[in-house]
């Protein structure tokens, strides 16, 4: 009897301890629910309201905001700009950042200084970045001045004020901000790879290019997926600040993205219901994009 009682107490003990420890997670779950799930539900609810001001009264609108959104040329222009931004930036940024990160792990001369230089764009504030590139890409800016000095004055143009080049400039600035920062993160992950694998591959005659893509890349695939997802989400949701400072969505609608549209409708036009309807679409795109990225990299997280 005593042996059975002891065995039963041992089997129940860890379960009871686990239940006790799980109680400590309740405050974190409550915090998550209030500040994450709560705002998400509020976004869906507000998107069904006719609400013209934060201090004004709201009225039920049903799906009217969505009908207005999907019937708007502004929405489709912003959707196309967002697709261009994501489709151009992510496929270029991630492979380039991985290659630069791998190069850093080879510890070339000055690699420590190179890490600092690559990481620096990520430390510069959005306002400072906007000021630098506004001065560089303006009609009398550094780029046009350089083209003039080498006899290519026919190529000068207002890069941020032309519908043909404004969005491309925003994308290139995003690449400048993201490649170095992401490369340093890749380098940190690749430092943990066993160097014996590389040495064995070299003995078999493999080149650095083959080692990078056939050994280092598959080993780091989960981390590649994580950084791809983070850059995707940052580009989708966080690029509106830079666009707002540089072009305010113009000229015309050439740099208006979905994230900027949400901001403009909420704070410039005081159309909160329409803004949150666009926010729901933006959330859906982000969710689908994350699932696609996880599927492509066969993520195990």
207-221: per-residue pLDDT in tens?
989 999 999 999 999
Direct distance between the N- and C-terminal alpha carbons of the chain, in angstroms, rounded to an integer: 45
For residue 251, whether the previous peptide bond is cis, meaning omega lies within 30 degrees of 0, is: yes
Angle at 126 between CA 124 and CA 127, to 5 degrees: 105
Say what the pLDDT of residue 5 is: 47
Highest mean pLDDT among 39-48, 95-104, 186-195: 95-104
Whole-angstrom distance, CA of residue 261 vs CA of residue 9: 61
Closest CA to 175 of 66, 245, 280, 85: 85
Say what the pLDDT of residue 47 is: 93
Q: What percent of the chain has pLDDT over 70?
A: 92
Say what the pLDDT of residue 11 is: 47
Mean pLDDT of 186-208: 89
Tokens of 240: 């509106």
Phi-psi region at 256: left, alpha or beta (left = phi > 0; alpha = psi -120 to 50): beta
Say what the pLDDT of residue 33 is: 78
Decide if 251 contacts 77 (C-beta within 8 A). no
Per the CATH hierarchy, to which homologous superfamily does domain 72-300 belong?
A: MetI-like (1.10.3720.10)
130-178: per-residue pLDDT in tens?
999 999 998 888 999 999 999 888 888 899 999 999 999 999 999 999 9
- pLDDT-derived band of residue 184, with 50, 70 and 90 as boundaries? very high
* HSE of 228, CA atoms in CB hemisphere, 13 A: 25
Say what the pLDDT of residue 263 is: 93
Say what the pLDDT of residue 95 is: 95
Whole-angstrom distance, CA of residue 125 vs CA of residue 53: 30
Decide if 230 contacts 145 (C-beta within 8 A). no
Mean pLDDT of 76-105: 95
Whole-angstrom distance, CA of residue 251 vs CA of residue 274: 22
- The mean pLDDT value of the chain amounts to 87
pTM: 0.85
The residue ranges of every structural domain in the chain are: 72-300
227-283: per-residue pLDDT in tens?
999 999 999 998 899 999 999 999 999 999 999 999 999 888 889 999 999 999 999
């Amino acid at each position: 009897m005593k042996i059975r009682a002891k065995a039963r107490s041992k089997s129940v003990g860890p379960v009871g301890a686990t239940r006790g420890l799980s109680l400590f997670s309740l405050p974190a779950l409550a915090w998550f629910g209030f500040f994450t799930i709560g705002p998400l539900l509020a976004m869906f609810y507000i998107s069904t309201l006719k609400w013209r001001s934060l201090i004004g009264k709201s009225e039920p609108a049903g799906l009217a905001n969505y009908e207005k959104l999907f019937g708007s040329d502004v929405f489709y222009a912003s959707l196309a700009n967002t697709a261009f931004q994501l489709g151009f930036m992510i496929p270029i940024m991630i492979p380039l950042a991985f290659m630069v990160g791998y190069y850093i792990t080879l510890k070339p001369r000055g690699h420590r200084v190179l890490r600092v230089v690559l990481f620096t764009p990520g430390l510069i504030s959005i306002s400072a970045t906007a000021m630098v590139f506004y001065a560089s890409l303006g009609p009398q800016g550094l780029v046009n001045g350089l083209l003039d000095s080498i006899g290519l004055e026919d190529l000068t143009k207002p890069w941020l004020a032309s519908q043909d080049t404004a969005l491309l400039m925003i994308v290139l600035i995003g690449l400048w901000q993201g490649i170095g920062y992401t490369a340093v993160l890749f380098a940190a992950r690749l430092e943990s790879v066993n160097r014996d694998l590389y040495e064995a591959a070299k003995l078999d005659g493999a080149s650095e290019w083959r080692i990078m893509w056939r050994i280092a890349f598959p080993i780091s695939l989960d981390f590649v997926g994580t950084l791809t997802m983070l850059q995707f989400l940052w580009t989708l949701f966080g690029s509106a600040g830079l666009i707002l400072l540089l072009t305010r969505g113009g000229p015309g609608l050439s740099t208006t993205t979905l994230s900027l549209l949400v901001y403009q409708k909420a704070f410039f036009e005081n159309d909160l219901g329409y803004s949150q309807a666009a926010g729901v679409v933006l959330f859906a795109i982000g969710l689908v994009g994350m699932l696609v990225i996880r599927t492509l990299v066969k993520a195990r997280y």
